[in-house]
Amino acid sequence: MKHVAPAPVPHLTEADLRLLRIFRAVAEAGGLTAAEAQLGMERSTISRHLLALETRLGSRLCFRGPSGFELTDFGHRALLASIAACDALEMVHHELNLARNILSGELRIGIADNCLSNPHCRLADTLAQFRAAAPNVTLNIAIGLPSALVEDVLERRLHLAISGQPAVNSKLEYVSLFTEEFRLYTAAARPLALDALRDGGVALVTRTNDRRTQNLARRLHIKQHALAFGLEAVATMLVGGGFVGFLPKHYVEMLRPIHQLEEVSGAEAFRYTTQFSLISAISRPLPPSGRLLAKLLTDPQSAT
């Protein structure tokens, strides 16, 4: 049977860009139903738009139905292309406004849990300065796991992220901001020494997707483990007694008026420091608003 080569994608029009925006919203939401509220459209209308886009592009973008929603290989490529197209239009809009000394648009930032409680994190003061300098910019701030924040920057869901992930990805730029010192804590009402941890009766709390504490758990040789999502979950277990876990020193000090935690005696060798950085994608130029926020965060003198 003779192979028929697929027809090339036609030149895109303004109507095609609108369809690509709809497709992007559906893909990022994970389905048609999930995208209804964001798009302000009924499911049947969204479905017609996706079918129209597939017809224009000549290939199926996704599987949708009772079994769920899943992008095709072509759909994954089309999603990246639609993100790039939206970014390009967004950048044109920003630069034209910048020519009139106006900063506008939306700036999406992701931050790790409890950055606000770190006295060395200047984000709150920086946002106040940013708001005064760019009142027309809409700020969108989300809290996420360190690994998820990095992925969101790579997938262009975020312009910037503040995370404690190690600087190992060559596709990202890391600018150091501040550090956190983690120590091994337990409830102050039931203090423990390091030698007593291995006798049983105590569980070590590790955080979801936190390889650092999971590696330390193996070194501590504590048989019983518990899993927590976020620093507050770790602290909640420790306060109840019978658990030990790693928390930032500044976070424990913030809790002192309400809950008393103490470092495990003899566990000083297990302290560790996490470097927090401002993370952006090298291949995606920041909009003017992102460049301003990055400058304010990394150069305190720039605001004076």
DSSP per-residue string spanning 22-91: HHHHHHHHTSHHHHHHHHT--HHHHHHHHHHHHHHHTS--EEEETTEEEE-HHHHHHHHHHHHHHHHHHH
- Predicted confidence at residue 194, as pLDDT, reads 79
The residue length of the chain stands at 304
- Predicted confidence at residue 200, as pLDDT, reads 67
10-residue block means of pLDDT along the chain (304 residues)? 61 82 89 87 90 90 83 90 80 70 84 87 91 90 88 90 89 93 88 74 82 80 84 91 90 91 90 93 87 88 55
- Predicted confidence at residue 304, as pLDDT, reads 46
DSSP 150-171: HHHHHTTS-SEEEE---S--TT
- Predicted confidence at residue 195, as pLDDT, reads 76
pTM score of the predicted model = 0.70
The closest alpha carbon to 267, from 176, 183, 186, belongs to 183
Residue 130 carries which side chain, given as an amino acid letter?
A: F
- Predicted confidence at residue 4, as pLDDT, reads 53
- Predicted confidence at residue 262, as pLDDT, reads 92
Q: Quote the tokens at residue 251.
A: 């976070």
d(C-alpha 253, C-alpha 285), whole Å: 39
Give the DSSP H/E element, type plus range, for residue 97: helix 73-98
d(C-alpha 61, C-alpha 49), whole Å: 12
- Predicted confidence at residue 252, as pLDDT, reads 94
Residue 160 carries which side chain, given as an amino acid letter?
A: L
